[in-house]
Chain A
């Protein structure tokens, strides 16, 4: 397929997703097709403090995800700061041209490198009246960014962000209206796969391996499923899925 056809098919699929987990899976595929390894699709706010319809999804090396969290890198991430200075997408090598880096910001870039991130390409998302956001694609350490694929990545990032915006807004509207679907939610195929394997006693890590998807995706699918049933634990989720006949006991011992 040509890059344009890749983008068009991504856009068609992204326009139809109804859950963040689906978009996560879709984006992981697109990221690899484009020649990248990781992505982050986020509003530039502290997820723990912000209220409202916040987009926050990523697929990063575990070490980096933990570093961002534990050191609170979110607030002065140089890539996010660069987004405030640019309407156009940019590569990470452009960042020093967009802003003067502080010592802490240089440290952030360094620790990203040692956590296994290579180069990156970031699409800023500026929507009047909303927090700035971005979609970043990056490679693992030692790999070059796929320059030929950047225009396609620009579109994939922009359409992905819009799809995520639409989904988080719909989720919060559904929460408000308290519709009946919540009592008998339907799990997606992927969510069922994950819940089923969890019911067989597999850890998220095992499930990821069996299904050939990332650990983070599995986590996302389980979280989406828990949210649908409004339950807090894996065990409650499995019990509810059984009770609703979305899963049969036979599946669990199979």
Chain B
């Protein structure tokens, strides 16, 4: 059974000024990384929701409005590229940052064509860099 999106309502820290109500959808099937991203962004005062596969993430992204989506590319049920194509075909606009282990130029190009604003290779990127990037964008 697919894991349900986990909303970050429990023990939510106070939102820092300027970030009230800013919502981030974390789409990541590596549970430890998703967990760390969730805690770090909550600590920074963002509202977070975690999805562990592309299909659940698409439902979630269509149902609710998010200010930023952090998207893995290789995931069960629906990959990140299909997720972006689906969002694009339904004219749902949202800033997307890719977090992937794929480091090829063609993956970066394809992601940008589908609307991603930035692309990080997970193994080379400390979480702090991802947070800095999101904070700059929002």
> A and B: partners?
no
Residue ranges of A at the interface with B (Cβ–Cβ < 8 Å): none
Which chain B residues have a beta carbon within 8 Å of chain A's beta carbons? none
